[in-house]
Amino acid sequence: MAKEIEFKNFKKSFGQKAVHEDISFSVEKGECLGLLGGSGAGKSVILKSLIGLMKPDSGSIFLEGQDITLLNEDEMVEIRKQVAYVFQNGALFDSMTVFDNLAYPLREHTTLTESEIEKRVHDLLNEFNLATDDLLYPGELSGGMQKRVGMARSIILGPEVVLYDEPTAGLDPFNIRRIQEMILAMKAKGVTSIFVTHDMPSAFACCDRIALLRKGRIVHVESVEKLKQNDTGMINDFVNGMTA
Ligand SMILES: Nc1ncnc2c1ncn2[C@@H]1O[C@H](COP(=O)(O)OP(=O)(O)OP(=O)(O)O)[C@@H](O)[C@H]1O
Ligand SMILES: [Mg+2]
C-alpha cells in the first residue's frame, strides 16, 4: 500500500527542551494510526507540524510523497484543505450558529452556491445525528455536542487526511460512541488519519495500528489485531500505567 504520511528523522526543540529527538513513522493510505504518549510527549506538536502550524528543526514530513516542510505559506493553505485538524477543544466560533459554523469553510474555500452549501451542511448534520441543532449557538450545546460539531466542521471540505487530537477526552459513553462512529464513517470513505488518544477502547474500535511516542521517539508500532491478542509489551505497559 502507498504511504500517505511519512515522518522521517523529525526533530523539534523548544528552547533548551528537545521534545522530539528523532521521529520516524508512516501511515498508509486509508489507514487510521493511533498515537499514544504521555501528556507533554509531543503528540499535538506532531499533528500541528503536519498542517504547517509548526516547522521541524530538521527532518522531513511527506504527504503523498511531497515534503511539506519545504512549502511556503501559500502552498500550505492548499495542503490545509486536504488535511483536517480536529482540535482538542471544538474551536467553534461562538457568535455563529451550528449551521454557520459548518457553512463557514464552504463559504471561504469553495465556489458552492448558498443552496448547495445548505444541502452539504444539512447532509453532514444528518449523517452525524446533529440535524436538530443547526440553529443553536455553541454556548447552548453540551461539551460533547460541541466536540461533535467541531469534528463535523473540520471534515466538511472532504479532506483526504484527518488528524484527531484527543476527540473523546472528557466525554460520556454516548458521545464517545458517536465520535467513534464519525471516525469510522470517515475511514469508510477512504480517509487516512492519525488518532491521538488515551482512550484505548476508542483506539481499538477505530485504529488499524497504534504507535507509542516516548522520550522523543516512536518506540513501538503494533497492529490493533495483535494488541488485542497479546497483553504484554511496551504499548500495554503504557496503557496499564506501568511506564510514563
Ligand atoms: N508553542 C510552543 N512553545 C513552547 N513549547 C511548546 C509549544 N508547543 C508545545 N510545546 C512543548 O512541547 C511539548 C509537547 O507539547 P504537546 O502539546 O505536543 O504535548 P501532547 O503530547 O499533545 O500533550 P497532551 O497529551 O497534554 O495534549 C510540551 O512540553 C510543551 O510544553
Ligand atoms: Mg496534545
In a domain, 244, yes or no: no
With a Cβ cut-off of 6 Å, ligand 1 is lined by 14, 19, 37, 39-45
Report the alpha-carbon distance of residue 196 to residue 86 in Å, rounded: 10
Residue 65 has pLDDT above 80, yes or no: yes
241 Ramachandran zone, left/alpha/beta (phi>0; psi -120 to 50):
left
19 located within any domain: yes
pLDDT band at 165 (very low <50, low <70, confident <90, very high): very high
Domain that residue 46 falls in: 3-239
| Beta pairing, strands 3-14 & 58-63 | antiparallel
Q: What is the mean pLDDT of residues 211-223?
A: 95
The pLDDT-based confidence of 229 (bands split at 50, 70, 90) is confident
Q: Which whole-number Å values give the CA distances from 148 to 64, 87, 186, 211, 219, in the listed order?
A: 28, 11, 13, 25, 32
Q: What is the chain's mean pLDDT, rounded?
A: 93
* Run of H or E residues at 195: strand 192-196
pLDDT in tens, 10-26: 999 999 999 999 999 99
**Which ligand has the shortest distance to the CA of 244?**
1
pLDDT tens, 88-139?
776 899 999 999 999 999 999 999 999 999 999 999 999 988 988 899 999 9
pTM: 0.94
Q: Best substitution site from 13, 19, 53 to test ligand 1's pocket, by max atoms within 8 Å of Cβ?
A: 19
Atom of ligand 1 nearest to the CA of 12: 12
> Exposed, middle or buried by CB within 10 Å (0-12, 13-18, 19+), for 29?
middle
**The three cell numbers locating residue 234:** 511496551
In this prediction, residues 143-172 reach a mean pLDDT of: 92
Q: What is the mean pLDDT of residues 138-163?
A: 93
pLDDT tier at 67, thresholds 50, 70, 90:
very high
Dig out the grid coordinates for 172 from the structure.
460520556
- Residue 121 phi, psi dihedral angles, 5° rounding: -65, -45
Distance 40 CA to ligand 1 centre (A): 5
The answer to whether 68 and 50 are in contact (CB under 8 A) is yes
Q: What is the CATH number of the domain that holds 228?
A: 3.40.50.300
Stretch (H or E) spanning 144: helix 143-154
State how far the alpha carbon of 243 is from the alpha carbons of 76, 171, 239, in Å: 37, 25, 8
Q: Which residue has the cell 529527538?
A: 21
From the CA of 48, give the closest atom in ligand 1.
18
**In the numeric block, which cell numbers belong to residue 101?**
459554523
Instruction: Tell which one of 21, 35, 44, 48 to mutate to probe ligand 1, the residue whose CB is within 8 A of the most ligand atoms.
Output: 44
User: Does the pLDDT of residue 216 top 60, yes or no?
Assistant: yes
Query: Which H or E run includes 27?
Result: strand 17-28
* Structural domain contains residue 69: yes
Cα separation, 172 vs 144, whole angstroms: 8
Is residue 234 domain-resident? yes
Average pLDDT over residues 192-204: 95
What's the number of domains the chain is made of? 1
**Closest residue by CA, ligand 1 atom 1:** 14
Question: Are residues 49 and 12 in contact, defined by beta-carbon separation less than 8 angstroms?
Answer: yes
Mutate to test the pocket of ligand 1, among 10, 23, 43 (most ligand atoms within 8 A of CB): 43
Report the nearest atom of ligand 1 relative to the CA of 47.
18
Does the pLDDT at position 1 exceed 90? no
What average pLDDT does this structure show over 196-225? 95
End-to-end, the C-alpha distance of the chain in Å comes to 33
**What value does the mean pLDDT take over residues 184-188?**
95
